[in-house]
Chain A
Amino acid sequence: MSESNILDTWMPAGHMSYTEKNTWLFGIIAVGGYLAYLVVLFAQAGGRPIEQTEYVVPMLATIGGAIVVGILGGIVLGILARADRDNGGKPDVRDKEIEQLGERVGNSFVVIGALGALVLAWLEVDHFWIANEIYLAFAISGVTSAMTRLGAYHRGF
């Protein structure tokens, strides 16, 4: 028998599963990465029209930074989860089903973003707007995917 009480049907904050913690990390990175990009972009603009701003480097930097932080955070969470007795820190079938649900929701925004970019390209809109529309779609995809998964963890699935 473990130390957990038989009446203990609520989950203390420190007892989220590895995948739920990873989902929080993913959502925070999606929001934080995009906000960081916007801050840098508007700081660089300094009153000039925004589409004249150098956006490629900040975009690459925040995308790269998000990937690196995500990998490092995942490694740290994975190390912490190994010590967890709870299914050895491994995702179970419910975690996988919730992940698939989140991916379905998130991917729909990637498709919407791609269609939007297609329309902008047809209209021969400046590359700045096409790239930023796609990046915004990625960010929305990440956030909605994370929110869907967290909702499924807490409200039911």
Chain B
Amino acid sequence: MVKPTRVTNGIRALRFAAGEMTQADLAERIGVTRQTVIAIEQGRYSPSLEMAFQIARVFGVGLDDVFSYEPEESE
């Protein structure tokens, strides 16, 4: 599957580390549907900056600890 974004994230690992938090729990904490959490985890949707901060705050980490931007190889 071609991912529409080069923003990657470690949300799944962070959920594991946070007491095996489910996607539904994370979705509820940030006020979105579970489908949106799944799309973000799979790199099919880039969240807004505000939502990214909300996600980072849920895990008590910085934005860089959740998301990273992978430049193209030519860059």
A binds B: yes
On chain A, the residues within 8 Å of B39 by CB distance are 94, 156-157
Q: Could you say which interface size class chain A belongs to?
A: 20 to 34
Contact B23 A156 (CB under 8 A): no
Binds A, one of B25-33, B55-63, B64-72: B25-33
* Interface mask (B21-57 → A, CB under 8 Å = 1, otherwise 0): 1111101100111111011011111001001000000
With an 8 Å Cβ cutoff, the count of chain B residues facing the other chain is 31
A6's nearest neighbour on chain B, judged by CB, is B20
Q: In the complex where A4-B23, A11-B35, A156-B4 touch, is A87 in contact with B28 (Cβ < 8 A)?
A: yes
Check: A153 CB closer than 8 A to any chain B CB. Answer: yes
Contact B35 A93 (CB under 8 A): no
On chain A, the residues within 8 Å of B32 by CB distance are 87, 92-94
Interface residues of A in 105-157 (CB under 8 A from B): 153, 155-157
Cα A92 to Cα B33 in complex, Å, equals 6
Binds B, one of A15-23, A24-32, A49-57, A62-70: A15-23
Contact A94 B33 (CB under 8 A): yes
Q: In the complex where A11-B38, A86-B33, A87-B31 touch, is A156 in contact with B43 (Cβ < 8 A)?
A: yes
Instruction: Mark B residues whose CB is within 8 Å of A.
Output: 1-5, 12, 15-16, 20-25, 27-28, 31-36, 38-39, 41-45, 48, 51
9 other contacts beyond A1-B25, A93-B51, with CB at 8 A cut-off? Answer: A4-B22, A4-B24, A9-B41, A16-B35, A86-B34, A86-B35, A93-B36, A94-B33, A153-B35
Instruction: Mark A residues whose CB is within 8 Å of B.
Output: 1-2, 4-6, 8-11, 15-17, 20, 85-87, 91-95, 153, 155-157
